Amino acid sequence: MSINSFIVRSLQLPPRKNGTHAYGLLTASREHTEFHRKTSLRGVNITEVNCFRIQWCSRLSVMFFYVLCVFRVRQDLISNTDPLKKGNTVRTKHLLMFWQPLSVESWIGMRRGSLSDVKDSVNTIIEDVRVNGDKALFSLTEKFDHQKLSSLEIPPEEIDAAYDQVSPELVQALIEAEARITQFHELQKSKTLWLEEMEPGITLGVKTTPLDRIGAYIPGGRAAYPSTVLMTTVAARVAGVPEIVVCTPPKVNPLTLVALDIAGVDEAYQLGGAQAIAAMALGTETIRPVQKIVGPGNVFVTQAKMMLREYADIDFPAGPSEIGIIADASAEPRYIAADVLAQAEHDPNAACVLVTDSKKLAAEVGEEIAVQIADAPRRDIMEKALAHSGYVIAESMEDATDLMNRIAPEHLSIQTVDALSTLSGIRHAGSIFIGPYTPVACGDYASGTNHVLPTAGYAKSYSALDVNHFMKRSQVQMVTREGLESIGDVIEALATAEGLAAHANSVRLRRE
């Protein structure tokens, strides 16, 4: 029998009335046993979850380890007023707070599962919008956003007034971020037309055209996302899209309004969630449908995009944030913990995974997370995200690279001695951040790369949002009489073999 790990989590349970302890054995099987114990110590409410991997052991030995485990945890807790406060980290070395071993399979299942769990409720919302149009948008906004709207459009006066509510420094920060994002996206533009004579009389090429009308979803439920206004609309504008429509949940944050103005969007609606995606895909009395919907959002938004792609194309599933970190013993645990918490604070459905060959590093990151989370303003959200986050111990760094490719995280942070050689083995990741001084926040806001990225393993087949998502390419050819002579026999032979005589004839009569 081996003790797999000890995890202690504060669930911030309401104080027990009589201040006594509650004990409970929740699950026990041959392979895995979890002892949950709720404790109230000096006003700190704690749930201990003690996990064992048990093979063929007797009930007596389970009880022995349980008592030992409870005793050690209790000793640690008694010595601290609040073990979750800074400076009061729990003494027991193998006791990790908020940080648990994961398997790659469980990670993959969990990421896809959180999206499919909401299929039924999203379908109901889509059908409501399809049948009732604007009326559904007003009532769904009241239901999910608790706002009684008088219009779906964001009134232009509200955008003008927003400038008085934000500091000039913040406006300047948006302008600087926009300039960097524009610069990087300009590099992605391809020629509007290229033509190449492949052989005498046969000229081939590609004509690139922007889409006519796109919709960008800007999240706004648990945080404001002015940065996402820039990420989506700058890429569309650089591509040359003439009509850019934005939807964002009501009670729009003033800085988001300012970002809409700086970005120069054409239409802006105060509409969030799956209903916003349905409105842009299907159209309503007020909102004309768009050709393509881009932008991130929570599980409802992302599921709606996936379900409506028959009506409007989408960029890719860009759901709750994720970070994968591949690190060896040389990495700085404080930086890793900080990057983990940065993505964990987005959403209870966000998720973080460290893959490393160093058990010591994994433990140190757990301890750092416990220290840094103590005073974090969004600790509640982080704790929920961390409940399905953790680490994977790899046998070697090659093994770690393979595991990370199976995870295909939205953001990948590389913290290894030879980061560029680690990079060479990486095949699947939305956006990659290399070295100790490249926190993911660089790409979230201002380095210039796009922060709209595929999640839930979709980085295996999709790329970060860029100018190409807003363009389509028509292939072009121009063949002369001489050119037709050189390929005519091949075409006529293949067309005849396929039994398509009219195809063959269209070439033959030109050669007569």
Ligand X SMILES: NC(=O)c1ccc[n+]([C@@H]2O[C@H](COP(=O)([O-])OP(=O)(O)OC[C@H]3O[C@@H](n4cnc5c(N)ncnc54)[C@H](O)[C@@H]3O)[C@@H](O)[C@H]2O)c1
Determine which one of 364, 383, 388, 411 is catalytic: 411
Task: Enumerate binding residues for Zn ion (CB under 5 A).
Answer: 444
CB 353 within 8 A of CB 325: yes
- CA gap 275, 272 in Å, rounded: 7
Is 410 among the residues known to form the active site?
yes
Select 223 or 501, whichever has its Cβ closest to ligand HSO. 223
Select 48 or 444, whichever has its Cβ closest to ligand HSO. 444
Q: Is 382 exposed, middle or buried (0-12, 13-18, 19+ CB in 10 A)?
A: buried
Buried b / exposed e along 21-36 (16+ C-beta atoms within 10 A): eeeeeeeeeeeebebe
Q: Name the minimum Å distance from CB 252 to Zn ion.
A: 19
**Alpha carbon 71 to chain centroid, angstroms:** 40
Count residues near ligand HSO (CB under 6 A). 8
- CA gap 334, 331 in Å, rounded: 9
Mark the segment that binds ligand HSO (CB under 6 A) among 8-16, 65-73, 223-231, 272-280.
Answer: 223-231
347 binds, among ligand HSO, ligand X, Zn ion, none (CB under 5 to 8 A by kind): ligand X
CB 392 within 8 A of CB 101: yes
Q: For the chain, what is the largest distance between any 2 Cα atoms, rounded to a whole number of angstroms?
A: 101
178 binds ligand HSO per the rule CB under 6 A:
no
Q: Is 165 annotated as a binding residue?
A: no
345 binds ligand HSO per the rule CB under 6 A:
no
Q: Name the minimum Å distance from CB 35 to Zn ion.
A: 35
Q: At what angle do helices 273-282 and 134-145 cross, to 10 degrees?
A: 160
Q: Is 310 annotated as a binding residue?
A: no
Encoded tokens for 110: 């969990």
Task: Enumerate binding residues for ligand X (CB under 6 A).
Answer: 121, 144-145, 219-223, 228, 249, 272-274, 296-298, 300-301, 318-321, 346-347, 349-350, 410, 451-453, 455
Q: Name the minimum Å distance from CB 229 to ligand HSO.
A: 10
> Which position among 76, 339, 444, 466 is part of the footprint of ligand HSO (CB under 6 A)?
444
Mark the segment that binds ligand HSO (CB under 6 A) among 202-210, 222-230, 262-270, 414-422.
Answer: 222-230
Select 319 or 324, whichever has its Cβ closest to ligand X. 319
409 binds, among Zn ion, ligand X, ligand HSO, none (CB under 5 to 8 A by kind): none
Q: Name the minimum Å distance from CB 446 to Zn ion.
A: 12
334: left (phi over 0), alpha (psi -120 to 50) or beta: alpha
- CA gap 197, 259 in Å, rounded: 45
- Please count the other Cβ atoms lying within 10 Å of the Cβ belonging to residue 140: 23
- CA gap 241, 244 in Å, rounded: 7
Select 215 or 296, whichever has its Cβ closest to ligand X. 296
In the numeric block, the tokens 């390929």 are attached to 487
Select 237 or 451, whichever has its Cβ closest to Zn ion. 451
Is 31 among the residues known to form the active site?
no
Give catalytic residues, as residue numbers.
410-411
Extract the annotated binding site for substrate.
Answer: 321, 343, 346, 411, 444, 498, 503
